[in-house]
A and B are shown apart, each in its own frame.
Chain A
Amino acid sequence: MSRFTVPIGPQHPLLKEPLSFQLTLEGEEVVDSVIRLGYVHRGIERLSEKRTYIQNVHLVERVCGICSHVHTTTYCMGVESLAGVTVPVRGLYLRTFFCELERIHSHLLWLGVLAKNLGFDTVFMYAWRDREIVLDIMEELSGGRVSHAANVIGGVRVDINDSQRKTMTVSLKSLSQKITDLRNIVEHETNFHARTRDIGTLTAEQIRQYCIVGPIARASNVDVDMRRDVPYNLYEKFDFSVITRSEGDVWARTTLRIQEAQESIKICLQILDSLPPGAVAVRAKRRVPPGEVICRSEAPRGELLYYIQSDGSDRPARIKIRTPTLPSLAILPDLLRGINMADVSAVVSGVDLCIACVDR
């Protein structure tokens, strides 16, 4: 059978962000694939050396359109530890609140994209409809749906009053119910199973070999979670469980993410319940003493790492960002080899690529 090459991307309905695959097909079977990156490279790491620490908060927020808050959180954590600023407890609570809301938002968005790519428009619409609840909460608190600009160096700039707390508790509880509904669909729908079971399976050895982190690793029974392993932002105070599954296929990743969203709702409700009074932020100095720091946190897609080097001025000497998606991108050629052309959409959306994060 003759081979031919199918280009997917940089512009293709499958991809929400620019990325290019060259798939070599034999009939409907993928035999080889080449990935090209760099379509959304914005030079953020270099740009950040030209800007002040305060301006960089908003710059790193724009690394990614979905996990924007966790980027600023990690960056602020780093700068605060360099500058020796202690964030008030209420500020940390609110940071964690936003981090968890963002996780729910990211996981629901991902579920919608997967369903859309499988031709399952109804679940796509439901997932994105339910995601609106989270976005509304974040918009009400911070004034932005995805670019929250909630963090400042030294705390947060948002605050919750009592009436907001009550309405948010109610809407989060209703969201929990809706996420259970989505989980039921994913677990019981025959066609969804047919399209996702035993597709794109990764073993624990492969995960370790490629250093894959986050939900993909946990779906293959590799138990890593920065929130529990390296507690930051007072995560040790909250009661949540790290979910792992053993199947390692696209279906396992789907249910795992839905379960994680439910755990995040649990954390959010605990935060709303036990929010301590006090200030949300302290003023930090513009200049940061010389030094270097590595900061890690759990983004919706896995471990996020920031390296910040300061030379004592009001601008960082170097910022290095390691995003969780890059290793999952590295394993894609392996995953795509030998599968049906129709499963490409399930596999590619299953690893939850965030190209903006990878390219920076």
Chain B
Amino acid sequence: MLNINSITKGIVIDHIKPGYGIMIFEYLKLDKADFTVALIMNATSKKYGRKDIIKIENELDIDLAMLGFIDPNITVNIIENEKITEKINLSLPDRVESIIECKNPRCITSVERGITHKFVLIDEDKGIYKCEYCDQIYSWEG
């Protein structure tokens, strides 16, 4: 069994869907980190069978909306003195900006310079978003 030391002060991103850990790792630019970071892939999970985990030995400002958008089942644990002081359960954010791009070639976002791609959640159960400008549907599960 792989052993990773517990961290003193920092963040544990837990219950990441297997395979998504690397995506979050890259999004948070942890490959450039000068502090201790662990990416654990395919760990055993009682809840989901398998999961990815990221442990970060540092204080870090994380965009929870973005994380929720990548995987709403993620749990973010804030660690102080080796103990969890806060557990944050994520959900799909109501709005996402500059994360996904509208694929509709007739949408204004396809031609305007500097426009921010914005999506609004319209169905939480099915994870369906729509482009704020042209109403093009984006399904979280693809």
Instruction: Indicate whether A and B interact.
Output: no
B interface, CB within 8 angstroms of A: none
A interface, CB within 8 angstroms of B: none
